[in-house]
Amino acid sequence: MPALSLRISSSVGIQGLISVSLALSQTEPAATDNYFEVAINYAPQPLVSSKKAMKSSACQKLLSILASADSLVASREDNSDSESRTWSSYHGSGEASDYASVATSGAKVDRDFGFDDCGTPAERVKKRRRTSGSNKAEVASGKKSSSKKNKDRGALTNVIVVDELGDLNGDEDLPEKLVASWKEGINGVGQDFKSVKEFRETLHKYAIANRFVYRLKKNDTNRASGRCLIEGCSWRIHASWVHADQTFRIRKFNDEHTCGGESWKSAHPGKNWLVSIIKEKIRDSPNEKPRDVAKAILHDFGIKLKYSQVWRGIKDAKEQLQGSYRKSYSRLPWFCKKLMESNPGSVTKLVISDEDKRFKHLFFSFSVAVNGFTNGCRPLIFLEASSLRSKYKEMLLTANAVDADDGFFPVAFAIVDIENGDRWQWFLEQLKSAISTSQQPAVTFISDREKSIEKHVRDVFENSYHGYSIFHLMESLKKNMKGPFQGDGRGVIPAVFLAASHAVRLEAFSSLTEQIKHVSSTTYDWVIQIDPAHWTTLLFKGVPYNHIIQNPAEEYSKVIDDMRGSTVMQKIEALVSKLTNTMNHRREEARNCSTRLAPSKEKQLVEKAVKARSLNVLFSSEVVFEVHDDLTHVVNIENLHCTCLEWKFSGLPCCHAVAVFLSTSKSVYDYCPHWFTVESFRSAYSELINPISGIGRPVEDEVDYESADVHPPLTPRFPAQQKEETPKILDSNRRTVICSKCKEPGHNKASCKATI
- Residues 98-142 have pLDDT tens digits of 333 333 333 333 333 333 444 455 555 555 555 444 333 333 333
- Coil, strand or helix: which one is 90? coil
Q: Is it the case that residue 290 has pLDDT exceeding 70?
A: yes
Of the candidates 325, 314, 324, the residue with the CA atom closest to the CA atom of residue 286: 314
Cα dihedral 323, 327, 328, 332 in deg (nearest 10) = -160
Establish if 633 belongs to a structural domain.
yes
The predicted-structure confidence for 277-288, as pLDDT tens digits, reads as follows: 788 777 777 778
For residue 427, give the amino acid letter.
Answer: F
Residue 364 sits at φ, ψ, to 5 deg, of -150, 140
More confident residue, 13 or 722: 722
CB atoms inside a 10 Å sphere around CB 149: 8
Q: Can you tell me the distance from the alpha carbon of 428 to that of 275, in angstroms, rounded to the nearest whole number?
A: 44
Q: Residue 333 burial by CB count (10 A; 0-12/13-18/19+): exposed, middle or buried?
A: buried
Residues 333 and 458 in one domain: yes
Establish if 95 belongs to a structural domain.
yes
Q: What is the pLDDT of residue 359?
A: 92
Instruction: Look up the pTM and report it.
Output: 0.62
Establish if 705 belongs to a structural domain.
no
Residues 297 and 372 in one domain: no
Residues 295 and 360 in one domain: no
The predicted-structure confidence for 681-713, as pLDDT tens digits, reads as follows: 999 999 999 988 776 554 444 444 444 688 888
- Coil, strand or helix: which one is 639? coil
Residues 299 and 335 in one domain: no
Establish if 492 belongs to a structural domain.
no
Q: Can you tell me the distance from the alpha carbon of 287 to that of 566, in angstroms, rounded to the nearest whole number?
A: 10
Residues 89 and 226 in one domain: no
Establish if 473 belongs to a structural domain.
no
Supply the range of the domain harboring residue 654.
Answer: 598-671
Q: What is the pLDDT of residue 708?
A: 65
Of 306, 322, 338, which one is at a domain's C-terminal end? 322
Establish if 335 belongs to a structural domain.
yes
Cβ distance 365 to 411 under 8 Å? yes
Residue 618, strand partner residues: 626
CB atoms inside a 10 Å sphere around CB 1: 12
Of 264, 290, 322, which one is at a domain's C-terminal end? 322
The predicted-structure confidence for 420-430, as pLDDT tens digits, reads as follows: 999 999 999 99
Q: Can you tell me the distance from the alpha carbon of 430 to that of 314, in angstroms, rounded to the nearest whole number?
A: 38
Torsion region of 640: left, alpha or beta (phi above 0 gives left; psi -120 to 50 gives alpha): left
The span from the first CA to the last CA of the chain, in angstroms, equals 95
Confidence of residue 241 (pLDDT cuts 50, 70, 90): very high
Establish if 697 belongs to a structural domain.
no
Work out how many domains the chain is built from and give that number. 4
Q: Per-residue pLDDT averaged across 386-390, rounded? A: 88
Confidence of residue 80 (pLDDT cuts 50, 70, 90): very low
Residues 197 and 260 in one domain: yes
Cβ distance 402 to 377 under 8 Å? yes
Of 621, 652, 671, which one is at a domain's C-terminal end? 671
Of the candidates 110, 100, 160, the residue with the CA atom closest to the CA atom of residue 135: 160
Q: Can you tell me the distance from the alpha carbon of 466 to that of 453, in angstroms, rounded to the nearest whole number?
A: 9
Q: Can you tell me the distance from the alpha carbon of 310 to that of 274, in angstroms, rounded to the nearest whole number?
A: 9
Residues 8 and 77 in one domain: yes
Confidence of residue 470 (pLDDT cuts 50, 70, 90): very high
Q: Is it the case that residue 255 has pLDDT exceeding 60?
A: yes
Q: Is it the case that residue 181 has pLDDT exceeding 70?
A: yes
Confidence of residue 225 (pLDDT cuts 50, 70, 90): very high
Half-sphere exposure of 263 (CA within 13 A, CB side): 21
Residue 39 sits at φ, ψ, to 5 deg, of -120, 135
Q: What is the pLDDT of residue 316?
A: 84
Q: Per-residue pLDDT averaged across 708-724, rounded? A: 68
Q: What is the pLDDT of residue 392?
A: 86
Residues 607 and 658 in one domain: yes
Cβ distance 539 to 533 under 8 Å? yes
Cβ distance 674 to 680 under 8 Å? yes
Half-sphere exposure of 242 (CA within 13 A, CB side): 14
Q: Is it the case that residue 2 has pLDDT exceeding 90?
A: no
Cβ distance 525 to 482 under 8 Å? no
- 46 prior amide bond cis, ω within 30: no
Cβ distance 211 to 261 under 8 Å? yes
Q: How far is CA 214 from CA 200, 237, 568, in A?
A: 11, 10, 36
Residues 222 and 91 in one domain: no
Residue 281 host element (H or E): helix 270-282
Q: What is the pLDDT of residue 96?
A: 34
More confident residue, 322 or 595: 595
Residues 194 and 109 in one domain: no
Q: What is the pLDDT of residue 296?
A: 83
Q: Can you tell me the distance from the alpha carbon of 601 to that of 419, in angstroms, rounded to the nearest whole number?
A: 36
Q: What is the largest CA-CA distance in the chain?
A: 111
Residues 334 and 268 in one domain: no
Confidence of residue 657 (pLDDT cuts 50, 70, 90): very high
Residues 338 and 396 in one domain: yes
Q: What does pLDDT average to over the chain?
A: 74
Residue 4 sits at φ, ψ, to 5 deg, of -115, 125
Residue 433 host element (H or E): helix 421-435
Establish if 419 belongs to a structural domain.
yes
CB atoms inside a 10 Å sphere around CB 631: 9
